[in-house]
């Protein structure tokens, strides 16, 4: 089944404790992206990747890192999480960045205390 | 600056009561407008892409239309299973990302 898989689904952590949210897709998509979703603000892009070893900042990149060493994986790294990063995070992928529908994972709900 | 405004924020309909959701957008040049459906606890699911004014697309009880300033998602004779949040997103010319609206939360009452 074609899908984008994120782990974990739920994560509670403390301020400053490094964490990684994994994302994997099995559709051989070139484009991958991370979004956060907050009430009243909608989905906002954090980082995206056009292909392996190519990443770029989205609209809200501060406090986040990503890497794209393999085509299928696109982990999101929070090196020193803060409470304002408490949010619902979605990974998405598509064939290209050009008019190609995004396929989303089921989200990771992160709480930073 | 790209902007997407969806209205209403929430909509309650009786089963069978048709209505429309609105997505107003401002972009320097439109590459594409996307509609997604999001169920609670899940990621958004793609519905339609519209590229140019006058274009229409249909899927079951849903029909999306596009003008130069807005898009409508028409829901004909909705059923309870159509209850979800509907998201609109635009991609500007030359952009590598989508800009999302905050969505319309639709509830269809049996």
Tokens of residue A64, six digits: 């986040």
Contact between chains at A41 and B102 (C-beta distance less than 8 A) = yes
**pLDDT score recorded for residue B53:** 95
pLDDT for B8 beyond 90 = yes
Residues in A closer than 8 angstroms to B41, CB to CB, are 106-107
Higher pLDDT, B30 or B1: B30
Instruction: Using DSSP bridges, classify how beta strands B62-66 and B84-92 pair: parallel, antiparallel or unpaired.
Output: unpaired
Residues in B closer than 8 angstroms to A99, CB to CB, are 31-32, 49, 51, 91
Structure-token match 């989508």, residue found: B98
C-beta of residue B23 within 8 angstroms of C-beta of residue B32: no
Interface mutation target, options B96, B100, B101, chain A, most CBs of A under 10 Å:
B96
pLDDT tens for each residue of A5-22: 999 999 999 999 999 999
- pLDDT, mean of residues B60-73: 97
- pLDDT, mean of residues B66-72: 96
pLDDT tens for each residue of A84-107: 999 999 999 999 888 789 999 999
**pLDDT score recorded for residue A107:** 97
C-beta of residue A107 within 8 angstroms of C-beta of residue A90: yes
Residue in B closest to A9 by C-alpha = B41
- pLDDT, mean of residues A69-84: 97
């Amino acid at each position: 089944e074609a899908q984008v898989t994120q782990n974990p689904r739920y994560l509670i952590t403390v301020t400053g404790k490094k964490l990684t949210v994994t994302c994997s897709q099995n559709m051989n998509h070139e484009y991958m992206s991370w979004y956060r979703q907050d009430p009243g603000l909608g989905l906002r892009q954090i980082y995206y990747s056009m292909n392996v070893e190519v990443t770029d900042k989205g609209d809200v990149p501060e406090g986040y890192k990503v890497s794209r060493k393999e085509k299928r994986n696109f982990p999101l790294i929070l090196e020193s999480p803060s409470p304002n990063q408490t949010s619902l995070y979605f990974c998405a992928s598509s064939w290209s960045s050009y008019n190609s529908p995004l396929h989303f994972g089921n989200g990771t709900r992160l709480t930073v205390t | 600056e790209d902007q997407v405004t969806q209205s209403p924020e929430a909509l309650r309909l009786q089963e069978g009561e048709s209505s429309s959701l609105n997505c107003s957008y401002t972009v320097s040049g439109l590459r594409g407008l996307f509609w997604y459906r999001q169920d609670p606890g899940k990621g958004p699911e793609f519905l339609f892409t519209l590229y140019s004014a006058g274009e229409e697309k249909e899927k079951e009880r849903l029909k999306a239309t596009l003008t130069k300033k807005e898009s409508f998602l028409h829901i004909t004779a909705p059923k309870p299973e159509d209850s979800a949040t509907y998201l609109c997103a635009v991609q500007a010319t030359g952009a590598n990302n989508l800009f999302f609206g905050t969505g319309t939360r639709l509830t269809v009452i049996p």
